[in-house]
Amino acid sequence: MSVWSQVVGQSDAVAVLEAASVAARAVVSGEPVASGMTHAWLFTGPPGSGRSTAARAFAAALQCTTPGEPGCGQCQGCHTALSGTHADVRLVVPEGLSISVAEMRALVQTSARRPTGGRWQVVIIADADRLTEGAANALLKAVEEPPERTVFLLCAPSDHPDDVSVTIRSRCRAIGLRTPAPSAIAAVLHQRDGIDEETATWAASVCGGHVGRARRLATDPAARDRRAKVLRIPLNLRRLSDVFDAADDLVKAAETDAVEAGAGRDEAEKDALKTALGHGGTGKGAATATRGSAGAIKELEKRQKSRATRTQRDALDLALVDLAAFYRDVLVTQAGAPATLNHPDQAAASAQAASMWTPESTLRRLEAILGCREALEQNVKPRIAVEAMITALHMG
């Protein structure tokens, strides 16, 4: 299977990237080539459309060593680029809430080196919308005056100035991705991941076009249980006390996800750092090294706390997206529109809600969820934002 088989339901984007990888190979070999390859790319699309997946596939095609069409998926260049071990491919995935200027400056310095394999130095920034202003300025300088064999691949939800600054966007070639069709998602789950057709079809129909989430729903019973609990909230808000119970469940579930994601990893990182700084040593300078390590350990704990906060917010946001999709289904049912439901397996519940509420109250509930997402982006405490939202859901 070629590297492009990883990119689900994006035939137009794949065609552009394939042509660019062919042009890039001609550049490496010194052959005359028509335009098609550039030093900076911007991958945009809704969550789950495969922005970073497409960027990694393109990086693998640029490093492909097999004669013929680049991106065979079998050679060492393709394999190491996709697995994240290629010396000339760097993937930046922010573990905290943003990408700092210090991190970006270090990355820009590294990207200026010549590729060790003689092909391309590729930098993938998975969440370019999380760049701080200083980090964006540091990146802009590199994009304006790029090294000869360096390629920047930026991924962001959209090319709106709130996500990617106009100055950076204007220097990138844009690749727009769309939400994959459920049939394409089901096919890849069945053929590539070996999931039975019935489960694959169900997961593809309820994942909201997010390939990664479809895979989790198909393979993880805990993920299915969390989704079911969230979707029971709208019809279970009968008393005011239910508001606080539902809010508590949502926040605790997000906190549990953050703890589980960081369990073991935080301690392993701290132990590795302590070992590197000489903790546990018995040599002459061990005591001095240990005394001077407090600042480094404190900085690590700060990064770990930021990572846990982001994990919690991402988990909570996923629950809010599911809730918003349910109320959208209620509006579709009330309007008698032929649109496909986001939660087809909850059609009976959305029909029941449609018979109980007016379209206006449904819309107010939907707006409350969107308001909660905005509040979380503004660093409102999750419990306060969620309790306010669920109170609005109860009141209608």
Q: Do 51 and 195 share a domain, yes or no?
A: no
* pLDDT average, residue stretch 315-328: 91
CA distance 153 to 126: 8
**Does some domain include residue 213?**
yes
| Residue 283 banded pLDDT, cuts 50, 70, 90 | low
CA distance 22 to 70: 6
Q: What is the CATH number of the domain that holds 54?
A: 3.40.50.300
pLDDT above 70: residue 366? yes
* pLDDT average, residue stretch 302-329: 84
**Does some domain include residue 318?**
yes
**Does some domain include residue 337?**
yes
% of residues, the chain, pLDDT over 90:
39
Phi then psi for residue 228, to 5 deg, are -65, -40
Q: Which amino acid appears at position 177 of this protein?
A: L
By DSSP bridging, strand 89-92 and strand 40-44 are unpaired
| Residue 159 banded pLDDT, cuts 50, 70, 90 | confident
Q: Do 117 and 70 share a domain, yes or no?
A: yes
* pLDDT average, residue stretch 348-362: 95
Q: Do 119 and 191 share a domain, yes or no?
A: no
For residues 34 and 53, which has the higher predicted lDDT (pLDDT)? 53
- pTM equals 0.77
For residues 80 and 305, which has the higher predicted lDDT (pLDDT)? 80
Q: How many domains does the chain have?
A: 3
Residue 89 pLDDT = 92
By DSSP bridging, strand 89-92 and strand 150-156 are unpaired
Q: Do 357 and 313 share a domain, yes or no?
A: yes
For residues 275 and 389, which has the higher predicted lDDT (pLDDT)? 389
Q: Do 67 and 196 share a domain, yes or no?
A: no
Residue 243 near residue 394 (C-beta atoms within 8 A): yes
Residue 386 pLDDT = 93
pLDDT above 90: residue 336? yes
Instruction: Give the relative orientation of helices 76-83 and 51-63 as an angle to the nearest 10 degrees.
Output: 150
For residues 369 and 108, which has the higher predicted lDDT (pLDDT)? 369
Residue 150 near residue 37 (C-beta atoms within 8 A): no
Question: Of the residues 120, 142, 176, which one is the last residue of a structural domain?
Answer: 176
**Does some domain include residue 290?**
no
**Does some domain include residue 225?**
no
Q: Which amino acid appears at position 90 of this protein?
A: R
- Summarised one tens digit per residue, pLDDT across range 214-245 is 988 999 898 899 899 999 999 999 998 899 99
**Does some domain include residue 232?**
no
Residue 72 near residue 285 (C-beta atoms within 8 A): no
Q: Which of 150-154, 311-315, 356-360 has the lowest mean pLDDT?
A: 311-315
* pLDDT average, residue stretch 195-221: 90
* pLDDT average, residue stretch 174-196: 89
For residues 26 and 289, which has the higher predicted lDDT (pLDDT)? 26
Residue 266 pLDDT = 65
Q: Do 156 and 18 share a domain, yes or no?
A: yes
Neighbours of 11 (CB within 10 A): 9
- Summarised one tens digit per residue, pLDDT across range 114-133 is 888 778 999 999 888 888 88
Q: Do 51 and 151 share a domain, yes or no?
A: yes
Neighbours of 223 (CB within 10 A): 17
Residue 341 pLDDT = 92
What are the Cα distances from residue 151, in Å, to 119, 121, 394?
11, 6, 51
Q: Do 133 and 207 share a domain, yes or no?
A: no
Tell me which range, 129-133, 158-162, 277-281, 303-307, is most confidently predicted by mean pLDDT: 129-133
CA-based Rg of the chain, rounded to a whole angstrom? 24
Residue 286 pLDDT = 54
- Summarised one tens digit per residue, pLDDT across range 6-38 is 888 898 999 999 999 999 988 888 776 656 788
Neighbours of 252 (CB within 10 A): 11
**Does some domain include residue 233?**
no
CA distance 62 to 380: 43
For residues 203 and 6, which has the higher predicted lDDT (pLDDT)? 203
List Cβ neighbours of 355 (8 Å cut-off, separation of 6 or more).
none
| Residue 356 banded pLDDT, cuts 50, 70, 90 | very high
Instruction: Give the relative orientation of helices 221-236 and 211-219 as an angle to the nearest 10 degrees.
Output: 100
Question: Of the residues 151, 176, 201, which one is the last residue of a structural domain?
Answer: 176
| Residue 49 banded pLDDT, cuts 50, 70, 90 | confident
Question: Of the residues 122, 142, 176, which one is the last residue of a structural domain?
Answer: 176
Q: Do 169 and 24 share a domain, yes or no?
A: yes
Q: Do 268 and 365 share a domain, yes or no?
A: yes
CA distance 210 to 128: 19
**Does some domain include residue 285?**
no
Residue range of the domain that includes 275: 240-279+295-395
Q: Do 304 and 344 share a domain, yes or no?
A: yes
Q: Which of 184-188, 203-207, 252-256, 321-325 has the lowest mean pLDDT?
A: 252-256
- Summarised one tens digit per residue, pLDDT across range 89-109 is 998 887 767 788 888 888 888
Residue 358 pLDDT = 95
- Summarised one tens digit per residue, pLDDT across range 247-279 is 998 888 887 776 766 666 666 666 666 676 666
Q: Do 146 and 16 share a domain, yes or no?
A: yes
List Cβ neighbours of 339 (8 Å cut-off, separation of 6 or more).
332
CA distance 109 to 103: 10
